[in-house]
Amino acid sequence: MRLRGIKGSRNVEVRGRGRAGAAGGIGIVGLLVVLAIGYFTGIDVTPLLEGTNQPRSQQTTQAQPADPEATQFAGQVLATTEQVWTRIFAEQLGRTYTPPVMVVFDGVTQSPCGGASGATGPFYCPVDQKAYLDTAFFTMLSQQLGAEGDFAAAYVIAHEVAHHVQNQLGILGQVNAARQKANTAEANALTVRLELMADCLSGVWAQSVQGLMERGDLQEALNAARKIGDDYLQRQAGQVPQPHTFTHGTSEQRAGWFRRGYDSGLVDQCDTFAAR
């Protein structure tokens, strides 16, 4: 992705390091199991990685800055989303877009929606309208999940911003209300549709930044979407895929909805709740 000359967003909040011997003593296999628990359940598994139930305030180390290169990259990508969604809100939706803040950190931090760490992965918190990103996630995305390339990382950022778009449009609130009244399987199914819509909206963003894309960037995003599909991740964890537990959609669903947004460039083509 060509980001040279792109000025980083001012809506980036950089937090220091709060890592306290993460994953100490559990080994790489144990680490992958714990990370899988966090991904599949949405539970903050940072205490498991720290190997203690002591209050986190007693465990944190002296603050250090997050990875400056990854922080700069995140800020530049965030800036492109601000330009894209400001224009799309005006042209396609007749509304005004207010961008989110992205919290970039290294290790662990806190949000009104719970703990944030590499174990929870990037996420958007509608309470404070901030997206949370551990810079170490980019390395995990590439080395452990096999989703290589800068545009794969950019897709992840765009996906979290897409949740903010959903929040701005009132979709998050409606879905959260519906999930509270549903059983677990029904709530998971609603979450899948919400996540696939975010993938589609990420594709709308990608279509709008084609001028910044390099050869292979589209395939990097599609590969990343497939590598974080529920069925793929469950197989990687040694499980038989169980659709009723899915919360993000299959690999092909995720890649397909991203491609739909990319091909159309239209928000109204991302209504996953009207789809079969």
In 3D, which of 71, 22, 9 has the Cα closest to residue 49?
A: 22
The CA distance from 8 to 97, in Å, is 18
Is 67 a residue whose pLDDT tops 50?
yes
pTM above 0.85, yes or no: no
Query: Mean pLDDT throughout 261-269?
Result: 97
Q: Could you report the per-residue pLDDT of 182-219, keeping only the tens digit for each?
A: 999 999 999 999 999 999 999 999 999 999 999 999 99
Q: Is the dihedral of CA 141, 130, 46, 237 positive or negative?
A: negative
16 or 61: whose pLDDT is higher?
16
Q: Could you report the per-residue pLDDT of 83-139, keeping only the tens digit for each?
A: 999 999 999 999 999 999 999 988 888 889 988 776 667 899 999 999 999 888 888
